[in-house]
Amino acid sequence: MLRATRLMVGAAAILFGGALLAQPPKDGPNADGYFPLKAKTKWTYKIQDQVIEVVVAGNEKVGTEDCTKVDTLVNGKVVASEIYVVRPDGVYRVKVKDDKIDPPVKVLHVPVEKGKSWDVKSKVGTQTVAGTFKVKDDKEKIKVMDKEVEAVHVEGLDLDVAGTKTNVQMWFVKDRGIVKRSYGIQGVESVLELTKME
């Protein structure tokens, strides 16, 4: 079980890393409110009996773009750092640790539209990520921290992540970002759920 959890966390770091939240400049695109975030904002997720924290660590320039750095912590230690940028058509992950993602991976298309899909074919260092994401639902009802909310459900089925078949599902809530993520790797599924936001 521990090995399966590590595999899930590792694959998640390759593909998505942190909570995928980014704060654009005030006059720039804002991902329709699905990535609202200030510096030092922290999200706490639970995956089985493991607690994962995601913290906005600051801004960073990648090429000519103003981006946001997000750190993922386990037991208080940074295990992954990712860089995201919000563009007019969506949120992109552009870098993980020191590895540039070429081309950047779009994690959310904006404006949000049920049925909208987009292809991904990228390299993260020597690892590959390929497949298709789709907005499965733009008004799905889910429970978050004991409250029912309306979420945008994005799924990537049969993705190829570093040669491993992977299924990824994410639920975005306005003004909160990602509130739930599900990863299915080699027949093992793990679910991360938001338990606290500060």
Residue 41's pLDDT is: 82
- Beta-strand pair 188-197/42-47: antiparallel
Architecture of domain 2-197: Beta Barrel (2.40)
Query: In angstroms, rounded to a whole number, what is the distance separating the alpha carbons of residues 127 and 143?
Result: 34
Which one, of 18, 45, 20, lies nearest residue 35 by Cα? 20
Joined together, the tokens standing for residue 48 give 């089985």
Query: In angstroms, rounded to a whole number, what is the distance separating the alpha carbons of residues 91 and 52?
Result: 22
Residue 32's pLDDT is: 82
Residue 26's pLDDT is: 44
Which one, of 118, 115, 121, 185, lies nearest residue 153 by Cα? 115
Query: In angstroms, rounded to a whole number, what is the distance separating the alpha carbons of residues 88 and 68?
Result: 16
Instruction: Please tell me whether the overall predicted TM-score, pTM, comes out greater than 0.75 for this model.
Output: yes
DSSP H stretches of helix in 61-126? none
Q: Is the dihedral of CA 39, 91, 160, 190 positive or negative?
A: positive
Residue 48's pLDDT is: 87
Residue 22's pLDDT is: 39
Residue 35's pLDDT is: 74
Joined together, the tokens standing for residue 121 give 């074919």
Range 116-122, long-range pairs (CB < 8 A, 24+ positions): 118/90, 120/156, 120/159
Tens-digit pLDDT profile for the chain (198 aa)?
Answer: 444 444 444 444 444 444 444 343 444 446 787 876 667 889 999 998 899 999 989 888 988 999 989 999 999 999 999 998 989 899 999 998 888 999 999 999 999 999 999 999 999 888 999 999 999 999 999 999 999 999 999 999 999 998 999 999 999 999 888 999 999 998 889 999 999 988
Which residue carries 């993980």 as its tokens? 96
Joined together, the tokens standing for residue 156 give 């990537």
Residue 17's pLDDT is: 47
Query: In angstroms, rounded to a whole number, what is the distance separating the alpha carbons of residues 100 and 97?
Result: 8
